[in-house]
Chains A and B, each alone.
Chain A
Amino acid sequence: MNKRPPRKTALGALFSADRSRLKDNWGVYVHIPFCRRKCAYCDFYSHQAGPADRTTYVAALHRHIAEAGEVGRPGPKPQTVFFGGGTPSLLPASLVVATLERLGLRFAVPCFAEVTVEANPGTITKADIRLWRSGGCNRLSLGVQAFQPRLLAFLGRQQSLNDVVRLVKAARQVGFDNLNLDLLYGIPGQTRDDWRLSLQLALALEPTHLSLYNLTPATGTLLGDWLAKGLTLPCPEDDEVAMYEFAREYLAAKGFCQYELSNFARPGYECRHNLNYWQRGDYLGFGSGATSQCGLWRWMWIADSGSYVTSLLTNRPVPIGEEETLSPQVAATEALILGLRRTQGVDLKEVTREYGIGAKIFAEWERISHELALQGWIDYRGNRIMLAPHTYLLANEIMVKYLV
């Protein structure tokens, strides 16, 4: 990993020099690191903040976007915008819309771009949603996680079933027809019946997209702590596996396509922003803790909103928190690993060509693929490899084999 000193507007430099270096299909990610309170399992960069802090943060964000380049420069236009967090819905809706406007101006975001905003039920009103929609947002992602009050309380989430239903109804009324719901399985105390019910309730809300995440207790989170200290018992692995398999079958029967290890959509509603990640496409991140990638270079703006804001408002360069310049081989390996997350897999030849890596590595990948295919772990056709459905939950085991 090459550590570079923080540069004067790394983004600015990138754009004024050669914006066409970004791959087609690139996306914009905006990070809003505010939460009402931290959920027990969350390991993202987020914290509490008062209204004044939020306004200042957005002001800084706008400067950051302004620095990023000049209008009218040649180069591909972003195809997607994603407001994530934290809790973007904690910002006044007008500020989200204003940010989207600035992005539109700077990067000529096309009208057909997919614009997602993440929201937590219970933090938002119908008026806010209306404003988002009229301001150009066209995809709503709701962090539902679970429907059972005892599980929500365990996770430290404040929302009611009522909030969710009302919000979804409101979203429909103001014209959001692309709706994602996030659900968690493997929550300590969650039963297979809980999960079945959650899926049924979720489908009753008629989403176009479902993200089903296996709860992963990271160290340093409250939940990780509880488990480590034995204060709570983990969900039995057999149950987790059963929940996943049930969801795959159930959703398939209900007309959803699984297009990634944890993601399901009605045909045509796959999340374009996230697909870009799994194709190892480029992206620019704005906001404290947001990550950007351009080719072999990946960097994260400092995950400290205080210094993020201060540096932007005092015209100093935004510090880079972490950065990495990959070798073509490592980048190609990432492309392969990310590609394997997609149900349609990844084309080894295309990756080899795109990153210009040697025939030797390609040959090694071929050898590994043959071996894995022989054992039935993957599907290997032409140059394309994809996980066999019964190995979705063993994806790491397969991916590790390709690290050569």
Chain B
Amino acid sequence: MEQVKVRNFCIIAHIDHGKSTLADRILELTEAVSEREMASQVLDSMDLERERGITIKLKAVRLEYTAQDGNIYVLNLIDTPGHVDFTYEVSRSLAACEGAILIVDAAQGIEAQTLANVYLALENNLEIIPVINKIDLPGAEPERVKREIEEVIGLDAAEAILVSAKLGTGVRDVLEAVVRRVPPPPSNPGAPLQCLIFDSFYDAYKGAVSYVRVVQGRVQKGTRIKMMSTGGVFEVTEVGVFTPAPRQVTGLVAGEVGFIVAAIKNVKDTRVGDTITDADNPVAVPLPGYRQVTPMVYCGLYPVLTADYEDLREGLEKLQLNDAALVFEPETSAALGFGFRCGFLGLLHLEIVQERLEREFDLELVTTAPNVVYMVTKTDGQRLTVENPTKLPEQQKVAVIEEPFVRASIMVPAEFVGVIMELSQEKRGRFINMDYIANQRVMLVYELPLAEIIFDFFDQLKSRTKGYASFDYELVGYRASDLVKLDIMINNDLVDAFSVIIHKDRAYQRGRTLVERLRRLIPRQMFEVPIQAAVGNKVIARETISAMRKNVLAKCYGGDVSRKRKLLEKQKEGKKRMKQVGSVEIPQEAFMAVLQIDE
């Protein structure tokens, strides 16, 4: 294939603007998938992705398209995730493209995430093709959306393509535009090999498989490749493309996108962002890689049944093979026993990992309250990073606690400005800017503590604006805040799994809510159990679970023994699902209560 006939592109869109549907139509049109195989949303193959309607892991698909000029083009479609948690993955796929299709919903117009993705694309010098989707909807206003594209993003919308991915209208125009407007990749197949690994996954039979974009040179079966960051040398056993089913090809040349298999046992040897070169004819300098992902949210994951600890480790290791952003290390909790401290890109990432562990590895987990990473300066000047509330030094030794702040861009119809301001205020936000954009829509910019965002900011935003608001955020750095550690004591024992770092003004309210909720969720024990919330040594809220009065079988004679024994065995099973903290048995739901605080 001549390089002039290759196009590498991706689709960027706000969630629900129809990215997956358009991708499906493109696959149909290029006959990559027969209609029979066409389960809706082919690229979203993970069950979870389908259920939640989001794309988590990006995929690359190679398509052959006969354009109106009579030529056959190779189109490499690289899928990107839409959720803000996964911005990192978006930037990865953008680096492998020359062009991007920007989808905007014809009824909803530009949303906060649309903007974020456009800026990423512009940073990567991509050719952007605006597409206005869902023109079949009764509320569609393509002309208004065109104006928004011009006014808000500053793109020329004259050539914006009107599409209904659902009905298939305009899809061919999109592909023609890709062919016409996206530049072919620069081609120098004769140069020494240089490939960018933009993703990798682990296959039980083939070992680590790398998705690559060949930047220069050529790679084929038998090539001895070298990983530039680790120096590892491997012999390529298979080269291929996804159509979307994997298909072997003789080789990949500069500008092409595909996968490389080289009997690599450890996925760590195929680090995403690394450069692959020819071991016998290496390049001197690696490609600019990716910035290292830093987890934003941490929480503890513990098996409900202690015996599942090793299975949990195995599950995390397996997920990590395909998810460079997931980090974990062993942790011990006085309350929960052995588990792992895990770091995630955001709350959605956390939920997805938790669900996958429970579903794919059949584990039952207790999750501790998620928290951000704090920077603590002690009175002796020593600085430390705190990823776990229990690691916070005692109050007297803490000089300053800093927490991460984000700059949040919120886009809403003008009527909701008041509501957003109120919400942002509640969440300790600082107003930065407000801009009226086309058609009575407003872009509000606030700086907010990340910790507030990871709780229920997004849900609140959605519910208070009847779903009209969209938002996006980026980290802007650490700021000192008046933070304290809120501890929960059950039967006078501190239960570390319940500890949270929280703003001083919120501690009382949260403490009250939490003890109240725990009183309802912890079953009565044989003795009275006090539940207290404390900041430092000061108890700020208290509830009491009264003692159980009666649990006895009135009668047990010859004919009753089997039945009654089984009844007790069942009670025992129920208790096994609880965590014994001191002499108190705490059910799994109680630990969940910390996660679901609506104050």
Contacts and interface: CB of A to CB of B under 8 A. Distances in A.
A73 to B, nearest CB: 23
B31 interface: no
Given A298-B561, A337-B568, A400 B575 contact: yes
B556 interface: yes
A241 interface: yes
B116 to A, nearest CB: 54
A338 B560 CA distance: 11
Contact of B568 (A213, A393, A400): A400
Contacts of A334: 561, 565
Contacts of B68: none
A240 B550 contact: yes
A393 B552 contact: yes
B559 to A, nearest CB: 4
A291 B559 contact: yes
A262 B550 CA distance: 13
Interface string B549-565: 11111111111011011
A396 interface: yes
B151 interface: no
B492 interface: no
Nearest to B583: A375
Given A240-B550, A397-B548, A213 B559 contact: no
B568 A394 contact: no
A224 to B, nearest CB: 14
B550 A277 contact: no
Nearest to B559: A291
Contacts of A289: 559
B557 A392 contact: no
A262 B555 contact: yes
B526 interface: yes
Given A337-B565, A399-B568, A394 B548 contact: yes
A333 B562 CA distance: 12
A285 interface: yes
A193 interface: no
Given A291-B559, A334-B561, A391-B526, A262 B572 contact: no
A392 B552 contact: yes
A69 B549 CA distance: 48
Interface in A259-293: 261-262, 274, 277-278, 283, 285, 289-291, 293
Contact of A400 (B549, B559, B562, B571): B571
Nearest to A216: B554
A397 B557 CA distance: 19
B123 interface: no
B: contact size bracket: 20 to 34
Contacts of A66: none
B551 A394 contact: yes
Contacts of A341: 556
A348 interface: no
Interface string B500-535: 000000000000000000000000001000000000
B569 interface: yes
Nearest to A244: B550
A397 B526 contact: yes
A113 interface: no
A248 to B, nearest CB: 13
A322 B565 CA distance: 15
Contacts of B583: 375
Contacts of A213: 554-555
B550 A237 contact: yes
Interface string A146-160: 000000000000000
Given A375-B583, A397-B548, A400-B568, A324 B554 contact: no
B554 A277 contact: no
Nearest to A387: B552
Most chain B beta-carbon neighbours within 10 Å: one of A283, A289, A399: A399
A275 to B, nearest CB: 11
A277 B526 contact: no
Interface string B178-197: 00000000000000000000
Given A283-B558, A300-B559, A399-B568, A237 B549 contact: yes
A238 B549 contact: yes
A29 B558 contact: yes
B552 A261 contact: yes
A15 interface: no
Contacts of B562: 298, 322, 324
Contacts of B549: 237-238, 240-241, 393-394
Given A322-B562, A395-B553, A403-B572, 10 more contacts: A213-B555, A240-B550, A241-B549, A261-B553, A291-B559, A324-B562, A333-B565, A393-B550, A400-B572, A403-B568
17 contacts: A215-B554, A237-B550, A240-B550, A262-B554, A277-B558, A290-B559, A291-B561, A293-B558, A393-B551, A394-B549, A395-B552, A396-B553, A397-B526, A397-B551, A400-B572, A403-B569, A403-B572
Interface of A: 29, 213-216, 237-238, 240-241, 261-262, 274, 277-278, 283, 285, 289-291, 293, 298, 300, 322, 324, 330, 333-334, 337-338, 341, 375, 377, 391-397, 399-400, 403
6 closest Cβ contacts across the A-B interface? A291-B559, A214-B554, A396-B551, A213-B554, A393-B550, A403-B572
